Amino acid sequence: MAKERLQFVLVQDRIKLTSDEMESMKEELIEVLTKYIDVDSSKIEMDVKREEDMTALVANFPLKGSR
């Protein structure tokens, strides 16, 4: 619970987007991706991760019907 809340605020802090902006970015990304592939929009995960030498937006777009 605490972990999820922390992750949520950190995504916004790190990427400097509001949750509305984040949401519309997600929608636009889905729009683009669905032009080419079949993504399962209910299972999308987005996270901003700090790594060794960079901060990266890591997104997971699971494909429909795949496992």
Which residues bind to another protein, rule: CB under 8 A?
Answer: 2-3, 5-7, 9-10, 13-14, 49-51, 55
Name which of 14 and 26 has its Cβ closer to another protein. 14
Q: Is 1 exposed, middle or buried (0-12, 13-18, 19+ CB in 10 A)?
A: exposed
Name which of 22 and 30 has its Cβ closer to another protein. 22
Instruction: Provide the 10 A C-beta neighbour count for residue 30.
Output: 14
In whole angstroms, how close is the CB of 46 to another protein at the nearest point?
Answer: 15
Name which of 3 and 35 has its Cβ closer to another protein. 3
- What is the distance between the alpha carbons of residues 31 and 12, in angstroms, rounded to a whole number? 22
